[in-house]
Amino acid sequence: MISEYYKRIKTNVEAKFSDILISAELISGVAGRIRKLRLYLIDNTFLDIWYSSDGSYSYHWEQRYVRNAIYRHDNAPHQKWKNISTFPKHCHDGTQLNVTESFLPDDPDRAVEEFLGLVRARMVVFKWK
């Protein structure tokens, strides 16, 4: 079940990424079901992890209020990105319109770890401006 997955990912992230994490919050919808996992990061940005039962996902690092940027891997099959070799998987790198291939693993647990590893590396590059 997706809610159990979110709980497991939260526990794993708290253990493996405590150096960049302030807190992790399971966000529920009106019906009380967990909608996403939000991670608050030490550089005053946040990251949302979202899954649906049909296999759709999004790993979104929201930085617009700190660096005017976003970084997101998702598999929404927008026809606009059909020329991307990994379609429907793709990456928004810096802006909504700067889209590249996404080489995150298909396994969600490994994908979250790799995504957060990329976030950690980019935080160092940006030096928490």
Q: What is the pLDDT of residue 127?
A: 59
pLDDT band at 30 (very low <50, low <70, confident <90, very high): confident
Tell me the C-alpha distance between 73 and 61, whole Å: 9
Q: What is the pLDDT of residue 50?
A: 96
Q: What's the pLDDT tens digit per position in 42-68?
A: 999 999 999 998 999 999 999 998 889
Q: What's the pLDDT tens digit per position in 9-28?
A: 999 999 999 999 999 999 99
Q: How many domains does the chain have?
A: 1
Instruction: Please give the mean pLDDT across all residues of the chain.
Output: 92
Rg (CA), the chain: 14
Residue 9, classified by CB atoms within 10 Å of its CB into exposed (0-12), middle (13-18) or buried (19+), is buried
Cβ pair 81, 99 in contact under 8 A: yes
Q: What is the pLDDT of residue 66?
A: 87
Judged by DSSP in three states, 2 sits in: helix
Percent of the chain with pLDDT over 90: 80
Q: Examine the pLDDT at 5 and tell me if it is beyond 60.
A: yes
Q: What's the pLDDT tens digit per position in 72-121?
A: 999 999 999 999 999 999 999 999 999 999 999 999 999 999 999 999 99
Q: What is the pLDDT of residue 67?
A: 87
Containing structural domain, residue 79: 2-126
